Amino acid sequence: MSNFSNQIRASSSLIKRLKQRMTNPAALMQATRHFTTLEGHRPTIVHKRSLDILHDPWFNKGTAFSMTERDRLDLRGLLPPNVMTSEQQIQRFKADLKRLEVQARDGPSDPYALAKWRILNRLHDRNETMYYQVLIAHIEEYAPIVYTPTVGLVCQNYSGLFRRPRGMYFSAEDRGEMMSMVYNWPAEQVDMIVVTDGSRILGLGDLGVQGIGIAIGKLDLYVAAAGINPQRVLPVMIDVGTNNEKLLKDPMYLGLQEHRLDGDEYIAVIDEFMEAVFTRWPHVIVQFEDFQSKWAFKLLQRYRNTYRMFNDDVQGTAGVAIAGLLGAVRAQGRPMIDFPKQKIVVAGAGSAGIGVLNAARKTMARMLGNNESAFESAGRQFWVVDAKVRNDALSIIGMIIELAALYTQGLITEERENIDPEALPFARKVKEASRQGLREGASLAEVVREVKPDVLLGLSAVGGLFSKEVLEALKGSTSTRPAIFAMSNPTKNAECTPEEAFSIVGDNILFASGSPFQDVDLGNGHIGHCNQGNNMYLFPGIGLGTLLSGSRIISDGMLQAAAECLAEYMAEEEVLNGIIYPSTSRIRDITKEVAAAVVKEAIKEDLAEGYREMDARELQKLSQEEIVEYVKNNMWSPDYPTLVFRRD
């Protein structure tokens, strides 16, 4: 249906509602609460014509330009005469994709996934609207290409893949210039920034300036899942050097070839960046992504009460894990209020692991009364094993050296020397550990064997950490349905595969991972469901909900509301069948519900200041259903807008 027909239909509907209200005083009282506008459906003013339009991915429609637009924009004769629909364009692209996958590979060692990324990236370079049409229509197929796990491979090879600049780069050499640099970005309004310093990309270590790929991928999902207007997003790399010796010696590397800044010098660069972007765009939301643990918590605490920002590795991962843990309780046939009774062994005490631990303890404490005693009681449900791979090993020879470099520090107790301050609250007392038959540094297998946990949670970035010995130990769990969360990304860093988990521990388990895996055929018509606990279920909704609420900050309550919304999203029958996370094909609907929960919580906490025509007082009047509708109608959709030319 054309935009014109839609407008006629909308007008008829509006006249009908107004007639009803004139005879219905109650309806008339609510007339002022007709609040929504359809994002992305207004005519777009452009200041260019002819080939300039065709070369601009923001406005290019390719063969979908109507004949009137071709006349209006001086395009007649520059395109083939047949005007194609967007559906026809997508069909042609999909056909080309199948044909080009083989040709786009750089030799037999180049995986098809990377070839797909190249082809999609070319489409993004020439026609942004069509790119997002394809991504949204086939999100299950392409989310693993533009995001994890393929984005990890993209970041590792980004210097060689770079063709067209996307996003902004702020470097240590730009100190003192960032306030003026932000005005080089053409958009007058930016709603969402994803920023990284490339120091800990997924589980791949320090990739320096090549980490920009993760920021680009995340924002693709903000557009596809949350309907953030793509003309109002900005991926950012803060290049403060790299400690990756391979990159320092690579003449093709695109970043600063010097070691990373540290200490006060590093903080000064990040401070200057934050001040610059919030000076130009006061209402922007900044998501910190893949900062090394050393800085992730410090920067979060430094900025979270001043700016609209959050750290997805710390808070997003925590929220998705909490949703999964609450879902695991439901899958055991118990109410979510039983969550504080769960015994949880956590492998990994980096930024993601500590973020999950903090969030899980707060959730348990709130269920137990939210007092000091509840907080202490909740802390006793966790047994934390620190497991790491040395970053220097990651950049040497590859998988063989990487596996050889593996070392496990073991159970964290108060006896640990030089303990990370963030992990200290979760260190077991020596006497407690001793009563459990454990000691400082006890191996993961020993801890699992003695604790007999309900949940084994992996956030270690160490592939294969859940060995046969560890999984055999989990068979002794006291739970009726033990859960295994192998959450590390990318796929090769998953702590175990679903096949290993089901074959060793048994059919009656729950399995979740950070990367996508295929379900496992258990025989006799039974399926072992492989739930992907992906951050994409939450961060788009957190960002969108914050934007539409106009909240001054992103509070713990807003993050908790997002996690609980995701936990409750699945139907009871699905959960009892072992499905605790929804299909990514439902991501737009999931994000809508999560964003509505965030808006509702921001209103409850008196943080909401409104968005556009919707001020704080109007927000407070909305019912739950109206909040959901408000969110839905402010999500951008990739429809070709009507273009109107006007000279500068």
Q: Which residues are catalytic?
A: 147, 218
Which of 83, 38, 93 lies closest to 61 in space, CA to CA? 83
Alpha carbon of residue 610 to chain centroid: 24
| Spatial contact of 477 and 454, defined as CB atoms under 8 Å apart | yes
Placement of tokens 């409750």 in the chain: 568
Which residues does 538 contact at the CB level (< 8 Å), separation at least 6? 316, 319, 320, 323, 562, 563, 566, 594
- If DSSP codes are grouped into helix, strand and coil, which group holds residue 548? helix
Residue 631 backbone dihedrals phi, psi, to 5 degrees: -65, -50
| Spatial contact of 628 and 589, defined as CB atoms under 8 Å apart | no
What is the torsional sign of CA 424, 425, 427, 429? positive
| Spatial contact of 356 and 457, defined as CB atoms under 8 Å apart | yes
| Spatial contact of 384 and 349, defined as CB atoms under 8 Å apart | yes
| Spatial contact of 271 and 300, defined as CB atoms under 8 Å apart | no
Which residues does 599 contact at the CB level (< 8 Å), separation at least 6? 545, 548, 549, 608, 619, 627, 630, 631
**Alpha helices in 550-612, H assignment, sequence order:** 556-569, 572-576, 587-604
Residue 174 is encoded by which pair of tokens? 């730009």
| Spatial contact of 625 and 30, defined as CB atoms under 8 Å apart | no
Question: What are the strands, taking DSSP E only, across 341-395?
Answer: 344-347, 382-389
| Spatial contact of 364 and 381, defined as CB atoms under 8 Å apart | yes
Q: What angle do CA 592, 597, 603 make, to 5 degrees?
A: 125
Distance (Å, rounded) from C-alpha 308 to C-alpha 286?
A: 6
| Spatial contact of 238 and 181, defined as CB atoms under 8 Å apart | no
Residue 215 is encoded by which pair of tokens? 């920021």
Q: Which residues of 193-205 are buried (b: 16+ CB within 10 A; e: fewer)?
A: bbbbbbbbbbbbb
Q: What is the DSSP letter of 634?
A: T
| Spatial contact of 222 and 263, defined as CB atoms under 8 Å apart | no
Q: Is the peptide bond before 498 cis (omega within 30 degrees of 0)?
A: no
Which residues does 422 contact at the CB level (< 8 Å), separation at least 6? 293, 297, 349, 354
Length of the chain counted residue by residue: 648
Alpha carbon of residue 136 to chain centroid: 16
For residue 383, what are the CA distances in angstroms to 68, 347, 455? 67, 9, 11
